[in-house]
Amino acid sequence: MDLGYVTLQVFNGLVNGAFYALLSLGLAVIFGVLRVVNFAHGAFYMLGAFAAYLLGLDAGVGFWPAMLLAPLGVAVVGVVAERLLLRRVYRLDPLYGFLLTFGLTLVLQDAMRIRFGLQGQPYATPDQLGGSVSLGIVAYPAYRLFVIAFSLAVSLATWYVIERTRLGMVVRAAIERPDLTRALGIEVGRWVTGVFAFGVALAALSGVLAAPMRNVSPLMGSEAIILTFAVVVIGGLGSIAGAIVAGFAVGVLASLGAVVNPALENIVVFAVMAVVLLVRPAGLFGSIESA
């Protein structure tokens, strides 16, 4: 087996993993506080990419400002959705939140299809990252390396905030021991909108990151969200670290599967999920309680 090829695939896997990590991280944070599995997470990822694309097209805003502006804009959409829709189903079975956000996904995705068509729109790689970097044996596009590093940094920063700050303590408590938190009288409710907005912003940020690598298209979120669900089942929704580690690990495993046979790339993810369900149904980092 060609070592250069394997190296390239491992890095491709880390890039995919970077997206899984950011998406499942947002999903876990939202689930922890709202008890809603946000099906629309993929749609917000797609909206983030479109926001960057439209900012560039209509306002001449480049990639770097878009990294800040697009997540903010999409977070506003998220806040509206939370206030108008999600708020009404918190007291119900989580299945209703799932169905509600599924409906929201259909609406957002189809509305974008009607407006922009299914054909992907190109988005330029920022000039500073246009070249490639030598990894010793092979060269690798600089932008992709940036994606890995940036995602890792955001993941670690999020982890730090949640582990080390008071806000984080509440969120962590809510995620890891939801019943206990409520029993202790910690008011999770007032954090809800902010946490949802944060999770949505993370999804949108992933979308902006994806835009220069993949095309900006209305369906880009749908495949991402299902693979993210598989990652979440593997890692367990009950842990921030779990989301990050499972995200990167699954990305790399899938790419190594592609080395054996390209057809295996996506299938590997689900095979891993099946094994985890057999061996540790609650997920690698999950607690039975949140099952």
Partner 1 sequence: MNAGRAAGVIAAIGAIAAALVLPRLIYSVLALDILLWGLFAVSVDLLLGFAGLLSFGHAAFWGAGGYTAAIIAKQLSLPFPLAAAAGVVVAMALAVPLGYLAIRRRGIYFAMVTLAFAQMLFYVANEWRDLTGGENGVQGVPKLFPGLSVSRSIDFYYAALPLVLLGYVIAWRIVRSPFGHVLVAIRDNEPRAQALGYPVRRYKLVGFVLSAGIAGLAGSLYAIGHAFASLDLLHWTTSGQAVVMTVLGGIGTLWGSVLGAAVVLFLRDWLSGSFAEASGVVTGAILIVIVLAFRRGLMPALAVAGGLLVERGRRARVPSERGVPGS
Partner 2 sequence: MRAIRIAAVVAAVALVAAACGGSGPGGGAAVKLTDGKLVIGVINDQSGVYADLSGKNAVEAVNMAIADFKAKYGDNALGGPIEVVNTDHQNKADLAGQKAQEFYERNNADVILDVPTSSAALAIAKVANDEKKLYINITAATTDLTGPQCNKYTFHYAYDTYMLAQGTGVWVTQNLGKKWYIIYPNYAFGQDMEKSFRAAVEKTGGNVIQSDGSPFPNQTGDFSNLLIKAGQLKPEILGAMQAGGDLVNVVKQYNQFKLKDQKITLAIGLLFDTDISALGPDAFAGVVYTTPWLWNMDDQSRAFADKFLQKTGIRPTFAHAGNYSAAWQYMDAVRRAGTDDADAVVKQLEGYSFSDFFIRNGKIRSEDHWVMHDALLAQVKPQSEVKEKFDYAKVLSTLKAEQVSRPLADAGCKK
- In the block, which residue shows the tokens 């880009």? 220
Least separation, in Å, of the C-beta of 249 and partner 1? 16
- Contact pick of 75, 89, 175, 203 for partner 1 (by CB under 8 A): 89
Asked if 253 interacts with partner 1 (CB under 8 A), we say no
Place of tokens 């509600």: 100
Report the distance separating Cα 1 and Cα 19, nearest Å. Answer: 27
Name the token pair of 46. 């797609």
Among 64, 149, 274, 289, binds partner 1 (CB under 8 A): 274
Q: Which stretch binds partner 2 (CB under 8 A): 154-162, 189-197, 207-215, 240-248?
A: 207-215
Q: Is 118 in the site for partner 1 (CB under 8 A)?
A: no
Tokens 């509305």 found at: 111
Binder of residue 88, out of partner 1, partner 2, none (CB less than 5 to 8 A by kind): partner 1
Map residue 263 onto helix, strand or coil. coil
Yes or no: say if 89 and 96 are a contact pair by the CB < 8 Å rule.
yes
Residue 156 touches which of partner 1, partner 2, none (CB < 5 to 8 A by kind)? none
Exactly one of 67, 138, 226, 256 binds partner 1 (CB under 8 A); which one? 226
Is residue 207 within the footprint of partner 2 (CB under 8 A)?
Answer: no
Reported as type and span, the H/E element at residue 206 is helix 192-210
C-alpha 132/C-alpha 210 separation (Å) is 17
45 binds partner 1 (CB under 8 A): no
Measured from the CB atom, the residue of 164 and 280 that comes closer to partner 1 is 280
The distance of closest approach from Cβ of residue 267 to partner 2 in the complex, given in angstroms and rounded to an integer, is 13
Contact 237, 67 (CB under 8 A): no
Is 100 near partner 1 (CB under 8 A)?
yes
Q: Count other C-beta atoms under 10 Å from residue 170's C-beta.
A: 20
Strand-strand pairing, 132-134 and 139-141: antiparallel
The footprint of partner 2 (CB under 8 A) covers 2, 4-5, 8, 12, 113, 117-120, 122, 125, 130, 132, 141, 213-215, 217, 219-220, 223, 258, 262
